[in-house]
Amino acid sequence: MVESIVSTGIAIGCIYALIGITYNVMFSASRVFSFTAGTLGMLGGVLGSLFIAHMGMPVAVGLLIVLIAGAVLGIITEIVAVRPVLKSLDQHLYVLSTLALALIVQQFTAIEWGTEARPFPRLFDIARGGFDQQFWLPMLACVAVIVGLELLYRYSLIGRAFLAISEDNYAARALGLPERNLRMASFALAGMIGTVAGFAGGEMLLAFFGNAPILTFYGFVPVALGGMGNNRGAVVAGLLLGLFQQAANFLVGGIFASVAVFTVFIIVLLVRPEGLAGATLQRRV
């Protein structure tokens, strides 16, 4: 039993962490949280199922197209819902515009794909059992993304430009960095990470349009608790969230598990609004 809690918990936790990183990558580039993070996760599952199970594409091709779709949605998010409202960040219009875009995608999926949860194909043709691929795939995806991001940020020029933009937008622009293109690239990257989360976790979450708001919420928990823009914090908090949720699921049952997660989330946030890591106080007057 403990084994099942741990493996499910870590796998789910990895998906939450990946959605959290999706939020973070968009946030670092634009200082904006986007409601489309969970939608991307949902699309990863739905499109994966569509391309592989329904259209019979090979897994690799399916994954590639899913990634491209995620990148495209990321770019669309930047152009349609983020760029026009960046000028007036203090009015928080981005909350509304990204919410609108997320709903548009979600509803379109509900109508075209259906409102029933459909199965996600097994990606590797190996026998079920023990430590199954539905558990290790999300973990693998999570590790791959973290390593990939680290390499990108440390060793590539574009990665350093990302960091520069997120550290100090004005200074980066003054140095001549193409801020707008970098932001679009960041959103494309975030789109890919989000869909990877849904794709790798497809077997657990199924191809279901209703995953969007759930992932949007549970994926934000690691961001809020781990600190905005802090990917390591997001991974730790995501794993804790997944384990806690599964343990609560086992101990007190399904409904109260969600209630427990929510209660803990609210309490932690009320005590530490800046998350468990880091605190900043900005000048207001």
Give contact residues for another protein (rule: CB under 8 A).
33, 80-81, 84-85, 91-93, 95-97, 99-101, 103-104, 107-108, 111, 213-214, 216-217, 220, 224, 253-255, 258-259, 262, 265-266, 269-270, 273, 284-285
Q: Which is nearer to another protein, 39 or 186 (CB)?
A: 39
Contacts by residues 141-150 (CB-CB < 8 Å, ≥ 24 positions apart): 141/14, 141/18, 141/196, 141/197, 141/199, 141/200, 141/201, 142/14, 142/15, 142/17, 142/18, 142/200, 142/235, 145/18, 145/21, 145/193, 145/196, 146/21, 146/231, 146/235, 149/21, 149/25, 149/231
Q: Which is nearer to another protein, 135 or 208 (CB)?
A: 208
Q: How far is the CB of 63 from another protein (least distance, A)?
A: 28
Beta bridge partners of 207: 118
Q: How far is the CB of 125 from another protein (least distance, A)?
A: 35
Q: Which is nearer to another protein, 33 or 199 (CB)?
A: 33
Q: Which is nearer to another protein, 88 or 156 (CB)?
A: 88
Angle made by CA atoms 235, 239, 245, in degrees to the nearest 5: 145
Q: Which is nearer to another protein, 114 or 178 (CB)?
A: 114
- Amino acid 10 reads I
Cβ atoms 207, 48 nearer than 8 A: yes
Q: How far is the CB of 95 from another protein (least distance, A)?
A: 5
